[in-house]
Amino acid sequence: MLAEMGIKPAWRLREAAALPVSGDATVAAPELMVEAVKNAEDIVREPASVPAMTADAQRRSNIAALDWDGLASTVSDCRACGLCERRKQAVLGVGDRQADWMFVGEGPGAEEDERGEPFVGQAGKLLDAMLESISLKRGENVYIANAVKCRPPGNRTPEAIEIATCRPYLERQIELVQPKLLIALGRPAAQILLGQELSIASARRKVHRYAIGNIPVVVTYHPAYLLRTLPDKAKAWEDLCFALDLVAQP
Ligand code: URA
């Protein structure tokens, strides 16, 4: 190989020798004992120092290769963060695995934890109504997932480390579904999809992009927030119409 590259023979230092002090004429130049590496294979056979994959990189790479069954069983057995301690079950997602529309929420609440399906409580009923308002239906061309798959205790907002740990699962889901459009429901979902801090108010009515696959992302309010803040329902309706227009585009 080295010969092909025109750099044979290669040389290496056999003994360490003190180097002359620069400018000191009395110090004799050391005798550098060198030896030709006669065969380029000598070099090729030396063990390569390939940095080992970190455990986290290995985990990500394993998840990125999972099919639906593998993903479901890995998520269900996951103990990668503290949320596993108090969950009843992990909640992967629900719906059409070839959907054009993929909705991403924050994390399961008590009812979702009980039933193993996202958005089945009060917020879920509102989400179903929102879907219906644009002629969509859970399970029909719609897939629903969450940023974290296990219920945060007391329905608190998931912590950054929990979201980051769960992120490879969401990434794999998106890759498997390959939706035409992602709808981020609320701020944590928007932040995980877009990888940046933002406010819903500033992010609405814009076409964002999910970096892996360049999928368009529309951001709107979380249904649980809308249950507490009824006037903003009109804005969520605008966002859904905006999304509808986007999907209708050729
Ligand atoms: N809120 C969410 O963000 N996801 C659910 O699944 C339920 C409530």
129 lies in the same domain as 14:
no
- Ligand 1 contacts CB of residue 96 (under 6 A): no
- Ligand 1 contacts CB of residue 90 (under 6 A): no
What are the φ/ψ torsions at residue 211 (nearest 5 degrees)? -60, -40
Q: Evaluate the CA torsion angle 4, 9, 13, 19 in order and state its sign.
A: negative
pTM across the whole model: 0.80
147 lies in the same domain as 176:
yes
- Ligand 1 contacts CB of residue 146 (under 6 A): yes
6 lies in the same domain as 92:
no
Count of the separate structural domains present in the chain: 2
Domain of 208, CATH number, reads 3.40.470.10
Given the CA of residue 186, which atom of ligand 1 is nearest to it? 3
CA neighbours closer than 13 Å in the CB half-sphere of residue 189: 25
42 lies in the same domain as 72:
no
CA of 69 to the centre of ligand 1 (A): 22
65 lies in the same domain as 117:
yes
Q: Look at residue 53 and tell me if it is in a domain.
A: no
114 lies in the same domain as 234:
yes
In which domain, by residue range, is 31 found? Answer: 1-46
CA of 57 to the centre of ligand 1 (A): 28
What is the residue with the minimal CA distance to atom 7 of ligand 1?
A: 119
CA of 63 to the centre of ligand 1 (A): 23
In angstroms, the CA 246 to CA 102 distance is 14
Nearest Cα neighbor of 215 from 177, 244, 186 is 177
119 lies in the same domain as 208:
yes
- Ligand 1 contacts CB of residue 152 (under 6 A): no
102 lies in the same domain as 138:
yes
Mutation test residue for ligand 1: of 148, 222, 225, 227, the one with most atoms within 8 Å of CB: 222
Stated as kind and residue range, the H or E segment containing 133 is: helix 122-133
CA of 70 to the centre of ligand 1 (A): 23
In angstroms, the CA 80 to CA 166 distance is 8
* 40 token code pair: 């380029």
- Ligand 1 contacts CB of residue 168 (under 6 A): no
CA of 113 to the centre of ligand 1 (A): 10
The confidence score (pLDDT) of residue 46 equals 53
Q: Look at residue 132 and tell me if it is in a domain.
A: yes
CB 99 within 8 A of CB 182: no
Nearest Cα neighbor of 162 from 195, 192, 120, 118 is 192
7 lies in the same domain as 68:
no
87 lies in the same domain as 164:
yes
pLDDT in tens, the chain (250 residues): 445 544 444 445 454 444 333 333 333 343 333 344 444 444 445 555 667 889 999 999 999 999 999 999 999 999 999 999 999 999 999 999 999 999 999 999 999 999 999 999 999 999 999 999 999 999 999 999 999 999 999 999 999 999 999 999 999 999 999 999 999 999 999 999 999 999 999 999 999 999 998 999 999 999 999 999 999 999 999 999 999 999 998 8
- Ligand 1 contacts CB of residue 105 (under 6 A): yes
